[in-house]
Structure 1
Amino acid sequence: MAYDEISDLRFFTVLVEAGSISATARSMGTSPAVVSRRLSRLEERLGASLIVRTTRHFRPSETGRVLYERGVQIIADIDQLQNDLSIANTVPQGTLSIGAPVELGRRQIAPFIASFGERYPQLKISLALAGEGLHDFSDCLDVILRLGMPDTQGATVTLLATTRRVLCASPAYIARKTLPRTPQELIHHDCLCLRRHKTMTVLNRWAIGDDEKRDVITVPSRLSTTSCEIIHDWALAGQGIAYKLLCDVSQDIESGKLIRIFPDLYGEKTDLYAVMPPRHNASANVRTFLHALREFLHSSGGF
């Protein structure tokens, strides 16, 4: 199976699970127009309509349902195969360059790299942090960690873990305000919102719910920024409620610095991928690193 076909399968599973073009775009860190064009190209290539879209419904067609169900299994088999092959037969040595998003890199990946480096002292590891989606392979990186499905043509992509967004606030904020009893009551609270780089579009439509029902609430944005870390810092300082990836705030929730609001509900799902350069066979260093990182992430509280 060609990379483009695998990539299209991953894209379509994300689309079906997200439940809308706009939610898929947010999950992938792109625009609804890009998602719509990619869906159209996939339908054209397969010669079939995959999604039934009306003003009231968004669901896979019969062909789309078959593609989704078979695609989920195919992707799982591919990821398992890559996981099995990733176990290195030799001791890692030489150099390894990793790119990661800023907050995830600082809070999760950097501590892991420190312990991984102690296990393999002959390996010299460098970690480059940048805003989500800003890394590319002109940065001379062996592997890029990416939240949301990558769109790098020809790259080797493997799923590492899945996290979700949660609502959280500091004990100081909760002491000052009455906790929302329902997601709809978020409109009466101080909410800390991300903005897109360049366009400065505020991301204030927060999806929250369970496996059966999800509400999308347009929250008031009292403070907003393009930095995930600043949102985190504001939440710790008691400035309001944040809509954060669980992997970024799990340690603070465990320590009590932040408290989950609606602990039985979740926001949007986000996948963490490892991306290797196009037409590049992953080295033993990369395979061993990803195998160990996957185990670490699955044992941590945020994934």
Structure 2
Amino acid sequence: MQYVDCLNVFVRSVDLGSITSGGRDLRLTPAVASKRIKELEAHLGVRLLNRTTRSLTPTEIGKVYYDHARSVLESIRESEAAVAGFSSAPRGTISVVAPLGVGRRLIAPLVPEFVAQYPEVNIRLRLSDRKVDMLADNLDLAIFLGELRDSNLKFRKIASCERVLCASPKYLASHGHPKTPGDLLRNDHNCLLLRYPRSPEYFWTLQGRDGPERLEVAGRYDADDGDVLTRWAEEGWGIANKPRFDVAEALANGSLVEVLPDTPPVSATLGCLYPHRRLQDPKIRLFLDFAVMRLKETLFAGRR
């Protein structure tokens, strides 16, 4: 029995609520993942999981074992990180999560470049505009764009990113150009909103003439994918609030037009979140330094 592999499958299956999902997260087939769980239960002589066709939950013994298993896996990870400092080349897997637009346009191009320099490192890149739990999802780094709230994670700022309100010429011809932030609250304007369960973005904050102005905007369309909002804006369905880098091409080719340029949205902070202990791993520290350097080059390239 590959004991550490079995521990990994067990912990991820509990985290994700199914053996299939736990195995998929570790790049194992459902059959192999199920076999690992059975081997672990046979080795321990107890049932760790209650399985039904619709759910998977740990038994009382399984709950106790889960806590210890997570601790063991974290200790192994820290031990490997300590030893990695003496290796001639970094190796292993780095799990990174990023918002969809940031991930597609800024982070994804960096991954092949980094792996070309360090071929024994694997990068697992997850893209999501939803809030993630780094510790529960066993992530090493999270690229963050927005307003940083209280967090028990370490944070490294990369840049302040300008945001813009934008809409298509078709939409503006039909609904008119807003003249003031308050115009966005009129019923004849449709604001495209990034929303998902427990989303904090139910309002827009603009740089008003007398300071930040918070607007509880509304609209008939919302989505949990920022690229969908951009597409809707280009098709003439409303006004979107987007990072400038995310819609730079659309602004340049005229498919989107900047709205209220004198009172734009407040800038968003782009940075990286990580559990403090993860940065003790040389490969994670290398990727973070590399990503910060390359992102600054990309974002500030046109400002020199």
TM-score bracket relative to the smaller structure: 0.5 to 0.7
Among candidates 106, 112, 132, match of residue 104 of structure 2 = 106
Secondary structure in 2 aligned to 1:117?
A: helix
| Aligned 8 A contact 2:134 2:140 in 1 | no
**2:197 matched residue in structure 1:** 197
**CA 1:94–1:280 in 2, change beyond 3 Å: closer, same or farther?**
closer
Q: 1:202 to 1:131 in 2, by over 3 A?
A: closer
Is contact 1:246–1:302 with CA below 8 Å preserved after alignment?
Answer: no
TM-score of the aligned structures, taking structure 2 as reference length: 0.58
Q: 1:133 is matched with which residue? A: 131
Q: Which amino acid counterpart does residue 260 of structure 1 have in structure 2? A: E
Deviation (angstroms), 1:197? 1.1
CA RMSD of aligned residues (A): 3.2
Q: Matched residues in 1 for 2:102 and 2:298: separation?
A: 13
1:257 paired residue number: 255
Computing the radius of gyration from Cα coordinates, the structure with the larger value is 2
State the Cα distance separating 1:250 from its structure 2 match.
Answer: 3.0
Identity %: 31
Q: Does 1:116 align with 2:109?
A: no
Rounded Cα–Cα distance in structure 1 between residues aligned with 2:189 and 2:284? 45
- Name the residue aligned to 1:282: 280
Query: Partner residue of 1:142?
Result: 140
Q: Aligned pair in 2 of structure 1 residues 256, 300: CA closer, same or farther (>3 Å)? A: farther
Query: Amino acid of the residue matched to residue 259 of structure 1?
Result: V
**How do 1:210-289 residues align onto structure 2 when only pairs under 5 Å count?**
213-289=211-287
Equivalent residues of 1:99, 1:128 under 8 A apart: yes
**Distance in 1 of aligned mates of 2:295 and 2:209:** 23
Q: SS of the residue aligned with 2:264? A: coil
Of the two structures, which has the highest relative contact order with CA contacts closer than 8 Å and spacing of 6 or more? 1
1:203-253 deviations in Å (ceiling 9; x for gaps): 2x3222268534334434132234333222211222111112334323433
Equivalent pair of 1:133/1:146 in contact (CA under 8 Å): no
The one-letter amino acid of 2:157's match is L
Instruction: Tell me which amino acid in the other structure corresponds to 2:197.
Output: H
Letter in 1 for 2:148: M
Q: Distance in 2 between the 1:191 and 1:254 partners?
A: 22
Output the CA distance in 2 between the equivalents of 1:236 and 1:255.
11
Letter in 1 for 2:254: G
Match of 2:278, SS state, is coil
Q: What does 1:1-303 correspond to in 2, within 5 Å?
A: 92-147=90-145, 148-149=147-148, 151-153=150-152, 155-186=153-184, 187=186, 188-197=188-197, 203=202, 205-209=203-207, 213-301=211-299
Preserved CA contact (<8 Å) 1:190 1:222: yes
Give aligned pairs, total.
212
Q: What TM-score does the superposition give when structure 1 sets the normalisation length? A: 0.58
**Structure 1 spans left out of the alignment, 5+ residues:** 1-88
Q: CA deviation at 1:126?
A: 1.5
Gaps of 5+ in 2: 1-86
